[in-house]
Amino acid sequence: MASGDSHPQDLESPDDDFHPTTTHHPSYSNQFPQYSRPLIDSARNAWQYKAPKNPQHASSSPADDIKSLEWPQMALLVAFAPRFRHMLIYGALFIFAWIGWRMLLSPQLQVQNSLLHSPPHANGLVQIRTLDPNLVPVDMARVDQGETSRKRLIFVGDVHGCKDELVQLLEKVSFNQKDGDHLIFVGDMINKGPDSKGVVDLARENSASSVRGNHEDRILLLRQEMVNTQTLTTPDEGRYSGFSSRELAERALARSLSEEQAQWLENCPMILNVGQIPGMGQVVVVHAGLVPGIDLEKQDASSVMTMRTIDSDTHVPSPKKKGMNWAKMFDKHQSKLYFSLETSEDPFSNTMTVVYGHDASTSLSIRTFTKGLDSGCVTGGKLTALVIEDGGKQSIVQVSCHGYFKG
């Protein structure tokens, strides 16, 4: 019969080098076709022979395949990439570090800097002065025993050059230095009003005490600048000088002060430590305020003259009105201290009371441990005096004022 020859044309091969044998042998090994080359050489990737469905994409590159991805797929690919995850981690760490710096470290450094370092212009100023103890009122037991004469302290709010109103106020409280009265100003004796020099002269004539207010500071610094630039004795050219009306008025005031008047103002301390007064503890006078819990020696000189509020978290003082009123915070701080010492013989002896001015917007503000006396005299409000007598008795006396200045 016909031989068992196989026909090569019946075998479809993708390669001309693929030649199966055509002879069958009775042995088991001959039951399968024999190949002249290794089988691995006949392996081909299917994609090489799979015809593209769209002829236009027959020669697409890997870049084209990436472009064909939808944006959500692309976003997932990027999101799951290891390098991208590392960038996210580093970015998150940077953000947390920045927030920690802004919210925690930076405010704390500001507190330390503001409380431990005075501004450059404050280096030559008197930081603290203690009042003569012989001027301080005593407890009534000593008065009854005849150990001392009558003593009163007359604290006066921001005068701002309103001499006439000051004279009226002193008459109303029956001020008499020879009888044991001592006059203390809370700063801002000058500027804005009609007779700043007259106020300074009256204070000097009555051996008064005062602290340095922000307006004394402003005028004295301006005066020193005019001395340095040799313009103290040169009149300004009015509206053609380039200065505003307010600046011209302040320059005129700085120029009008005598050397004696300027020196008296220069000698006014930033903080006046009055001493212990019955029922008030340690009494301190400043123009603007104090940061609670900070020693007097470490208070920032500039803030003492300008603060109105304190940040409740960082305790950084600010001249702005937005925030926690410093006096409210200070009073709360001292109240807690008082109640913690209430079982002691004299809990007031370890507390502090601050007498201050500066904040006319809140007008007269009398709390247990803070006494705000600026009642807006120069703008048409009132001029206020806090009178403290032997035994710690306190009283408020006021006179009405003309409106000399529009803020």
On whether the CB atoms of residues 181 and 152 are closer than 8 A, the answer is yes
On whether the CB atoms of residues 373 and 156 are closer than 8 A, the answer is yes
Query: Active-site residue numbers?
Result: 215
Per the document, the length of the chain is 407
The two tokens of residue 75 are 């976003």
Distance CA 347, CA 349 (A): 5
Distance CA 244, CA 364 (A): 31
On whether the CB atoms of residues 276 and 139 are closer than 8 A, the answer is no
Distance CA 272, CA 203 (A): 16
The long-range contacts involving 16-25, CB below 8 angstroms and separated by at least 24 positions, are 17/41, 18/42
309-310 and 271-277 beta bridge pairing:
unpaired
HSE-CB at 54 with a 13 A cutoff on CA atoms is: 3
Distance CA 110, CA 355 (A): 26
SS3 (DSSP) at 209: strand
Which stretch of DSSP H or E encloses residue 83? Answer: helix 82-100
Distance CA 124, CA 301 (A): 11
Query: Which residues does residue 277 pair with via DSSP β-bridges, in sequence order?
Result: 281
Distance CA 323, CA 300 (A): 19
The two tokens of residue 68 are 């064909």
Distance CA 306, CA 289 (A): 8
HSE-CB at 6 with a 13 A cutoff on CA atoms is: 16
Residue type, 247: E
The long-range contacts involving 63-69, CB below 8 angstroms and separated by at least 24 positions, are none
On whether the CB atoms of residues 280 and 293 are closer than 8 A, the answer is no
- DSSP 8-state secondary structure symbol assigned to residue 378: T
Distance CA 105, CA 83 (A): 31
